[in-house]
């Protein structure tokens, strides 16, 4: 993340002229000077302008005189100005902001709040720029929103931790209670370890493993339940057959059809017994059957009459057919007058008979279908009557009734097997999914492990470059405690070497420098999405000066301050040399790689004058300009 600070500006309550401090990219910008001159407050001002929820700026001298704090910074090719009204005496951060995009212009007069610009708006802006939008970690089953501010832990090597043996991230500096429990998660997110996804995959795998294991249990349970259910159904089928409720052809019907049929049979029996007691159903069926039979008799008689008439006409026609023959052969037969008259009379009768025809609509056109329908109805009634006869017989058969009641109760108690087993195909799909997730999980674990190892490679390289630690520790291998987020040392035999045993604060300071420099180079090269390429280092000389610039120093003939012990002087130069080497390795002359360090120091510039990356920006002394807050402001 290409980020560097260009200016810090302070506007005062009692003086119209602000004071501005400028910084250079790709440089180690050094602010040195006396104690209690506001050097370390530079970091607090930066943090406040970068949306700290509450101020840690010293009230005495600084905050009591400042009206607004401003920051001009560069981020990924754009320049921004953010200014914030000074907090109240109680330390509560003010809600007024001045905001300008693509600009280096910082107003000379006290800024006027920009309409619509709130801390929430600016947090959202920075979160998007630093790939933190929507980022969440879990702590004790609670979801905690992560912002870009949480990753400032990677950028601030403060005076409170730089020489300690057991703390590498100063989360207490940010006065954020929730940070205490999630520093480890933030660290992993910052270096590209996708632990949330690791946790998601782990949860999915465990859940899927439980589900698959349960499915194999369900498969056996369902199989046993189905066997018991089928045996029960077969037993009930046998009972139903013995009661006459099921015939041989129906023994092969499935369980669902069987249960439905028997319930229907029993229901019909109950319906019958109810109507039988009333004497209505049988009488109704008898009347209906008799009425159908009468209709069938009428149709039968009609057909018989029709056929008889048709047959008679044919017989008469056949009896007179010789007359036609005689008429045709009359010339060859000698007959008397009386015979001829008789023949003519018979001929007239024959003609009359041949002209007689039964009409086509003598019988109804749909008579056959009517008869067929009536026969079907009669057959259905006969079946019911036969059933009723059987019901009547059963009604007086107490053994049958008892068994039927038992069968009915059994049917009420039996339920189809509730199959929890999802089936072989779906189970195979889940096993394939488990294989795929496990493969992803193992790859992610491997990648996450590679992140740690790669980071350690960068840290190890700086550990091997430094020459400020005691000779006893030169050939150690760097390790990392992921739970405590601290460095470990190992001997060549891979045996653990307790960090606490190295004793010297100077050694701890070098370990911190190696850690932060290696960490920053790793992030810049491997995973730059969430961490700015910027580092604030507060007083590497603490092991030698403490918190007092004059302690342990002497002046040479030129008036330059020197440490009393040459060994300490050499170690401090080694620390600055290591920082200079880092800058040379991470800054390219063509501007493609950038990095900025702001270094707070007690030591004199003589210690870094030979390092090209260092540039002394400001010297705060009480006898000169008083420090961060100029003397003319303090005097007023």
**Residue 337 within a domain:** no
What would the pLDDT profile of 499-539 be if each residue is shown by its tens digit?
777 778 999 999 999 999 999 999 999 988 899 999 999 99
Domains held by the chain: number: 1
**pLDDT exceeds 50 at position 555:** no
- Bridge partners of residue 191, in order along the sequence: none
**pLDDT exceeds 60 at position 560:** no
What pLDDT does 557 receive? 46
What percent of the chain clears pLDDT 70, i.e. is strictly above it? Answer: 85
Looking at residue 54, the DSSP 8-state letter turns out to be B
Tell me what the pLDDT averaged over the chain comes to.
Answer: 84
Please report the DSSP string for 85-103 in residue order: EPPPTT-BPP--EEEEES-
Q: What is the arithmetic mean of pLDDT over 14-22?
A: 93
Half-sphere exposure at residue 219, Cβ-oriented, CA atoms within 13 angstroms: 13
What pLDDT does 24 receive? 95
- Model confidence at 335, pLDDT cuts 50, 70, 90, reads low
Q: What is the 3-state secondary structure (H, E, C) of 277-324?
A: HHCCHHHHHHHHHHHHHHHHHHHHHHHHHHHHHHHHHHHHHHHCHHHH
**Residue 47 within a domain:** yes
Half-sphere exposure at residue 42, Cβ-oriented, CA atoms within 13 angstroms: 35
**Residue 96 within a domain:** yes
Q: What is the arithmetic mean of pLDDT over 166-185?
A: 85
**pLDDT exceeds 60 at position 333:** no
What pLDDT does 558 receive? 42
Alpha helices for 83-194 (secondary structure H):
119-129, 179-190
**Residue 308 within a domain:** no
The Cα–Cα gap between 351 and 34 comes to 156
Max Cα separation, the chain? 193
H/E stretch holding 568 reads helix 566-586
Looking at residue 164, the DSSP 8-state letter turns out to be -
**Residue 127 within a domain:** yes
Phi-psi region of 61 (alpha: psi -120 to 50; beta: other; left: phi over 0): left
User: Residue 108: which CATH number?
Assistant: 3.40.50
**Residue 439 within a domain:** no
Q: Which residue has the tokens 């488990």?
A: 434
**pLDDT exceeds 60 at position 551:** no
What pLDDT does 336 receive? 66
What pLDDT does 91 receive? 63
**Residue 499 within a domain:** no
The Cα–Cα gap between 55 and 89 comes to 10
Q: Would the pTM count as exceeding 0.85?
A: no
Query: Residue 175's domain spans which residues?
Result: 3-189+527-635
What would the pLDDT profile of 80-91 be if each residue is shown by its tens digit?
999 999 988 776
**Residue 629 within a domain:** yes
Q: Which of 352-356, 429-433, 511-515 has the lowest mean pLDDT?
A: 352-356
What pLDDT does 330 receive? 59
What would the pLDDT profile of 107-142 be if each residue is shown by its tens digit?
999 999 999 999 999 999 999 999 998 888 877 778
Q: What is the arithmetic mean of pLDDT over 288-311?
A: 82
């Amino acid at each position: 993340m290409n980020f560097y600070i260009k200016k810090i500006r302070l506007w005062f309550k009692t003086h119209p002229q602000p004071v501005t401090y400028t910084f250079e990219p790709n440089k180690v910008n050094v602010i040195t000077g006396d104690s209690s001159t506001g050097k370390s407050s530079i970091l607090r001002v930066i943090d406040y302008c970068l949306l700290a929820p509450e101020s840690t700026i010293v009230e005495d001298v600084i905050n009591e005189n400042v009206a607004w704090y401003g920051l001009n910074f560069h981020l990924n090719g754009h320049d921004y100005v953010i200014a914030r009204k000074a907090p109240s005496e109680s330390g509560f951060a003010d809600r007024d902001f001045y905001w300008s995009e693509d600009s280096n212009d910082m107003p000379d007069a006290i800024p006027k709040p920009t309409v619509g610009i709130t801390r929430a708006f600016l947090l959202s802006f920075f979160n998007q720029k630093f790939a933190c939008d929507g980022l969440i970690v879990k702590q004790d089953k609670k979801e905690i929103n992560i912002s870009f501010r949480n990753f400032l832990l990677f950028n601030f090597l403060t005076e409170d931790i730089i020489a300690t043996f057991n703390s590498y991230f100063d989360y207490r500096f940010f006065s954020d209670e929730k940070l205490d429990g999630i520093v480890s998660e933030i660290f992993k997110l910052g270096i590209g370890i996708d632990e949330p996804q690791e946790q998601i995959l782990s949860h999915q795998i465990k859940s899927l493993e439980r589900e698959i294991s349960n499915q194999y249990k369900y498969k056996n349970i369902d199989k046993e339940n189905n066997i018991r259910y089928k045996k029960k159904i077969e037993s009930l089928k046998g009972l139903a057959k013995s009661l006459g409720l099921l015939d041989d052809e129906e023994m092969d019907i499935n369980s669902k059809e069987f249960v439905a049929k028997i319930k229907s049979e029993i229901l019909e029996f109950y319906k019958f017994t109810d109507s039988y007691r009333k004497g209505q159903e049988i009488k109704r069926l008898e009347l209906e059957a008799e009425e159908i039979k009468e209709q069938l008799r009428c149709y039968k008689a009609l057909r018989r009459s029709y056929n008889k008439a048709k047959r008679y006409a044919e017989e008469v026609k056949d009896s007179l057919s010789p007359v036609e023959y005689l008429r045709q052969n009359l010339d060859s037969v000698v007959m008397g007058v009386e015979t001829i008259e008789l023949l003519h009379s018979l001929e007239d009768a024959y003609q009359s008979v041949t002209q007689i025809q039964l009409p086509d609509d003598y019988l109804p056109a749909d008579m056959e279908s009517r008869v067929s329908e009536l026969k079907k109805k009669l057959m259905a009634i006969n079946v019911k009557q036969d059933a009723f006869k059987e019901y009547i017989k059963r009604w007086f058969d107490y053994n049958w009734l008892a068994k039927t009641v038992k069968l009915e109760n059994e049917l009420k108690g039996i339920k189809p097997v509730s199959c929890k087993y999802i089936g072989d195909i779906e189970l195979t799909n889940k096993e394939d999914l488990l294989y795929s997730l496990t493969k992803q999980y193992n790859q992610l674990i491997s990648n996450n492990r590679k992140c740690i190892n790669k980071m350690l490679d960068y840290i190890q390289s700086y550990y091997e470059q430094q020459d400020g630690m005691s000779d006893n520790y030169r050939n150690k291998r760097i390790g990392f405690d992921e739970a405590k987020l601290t460095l470990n040392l190992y001997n060549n035999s891979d045996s653990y070497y307790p960090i606490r045993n190295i004793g010297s604060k100077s050694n701890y300071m070098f370990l911190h420098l190696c850690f932060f420099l290696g960490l920053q180079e790793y992030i810049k090269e491997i995973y730059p999405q969430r961490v700015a390429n910027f580092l604030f280092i507060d007083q590497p000389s603490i092991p030698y000066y403490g918190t007092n610039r004059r302690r342990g120093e002497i002046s040479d003939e030129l008036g330059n301050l020197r440490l009393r012990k040459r060994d300490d002087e050499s170690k401090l130069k080694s620390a600055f040399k290591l920082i200079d080497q880092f800058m040379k390795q991470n800054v390219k002359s063509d501007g493609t790689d950038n990095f900025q360090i702001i270094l707070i120091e007690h030591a004199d510039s003589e210690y870094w004058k030979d390092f090209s990356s260092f540039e002394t920006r400001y010297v705060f002394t009480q006898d000169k300009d008083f420090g961060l807050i100029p003397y003319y402001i303090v005097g007023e």
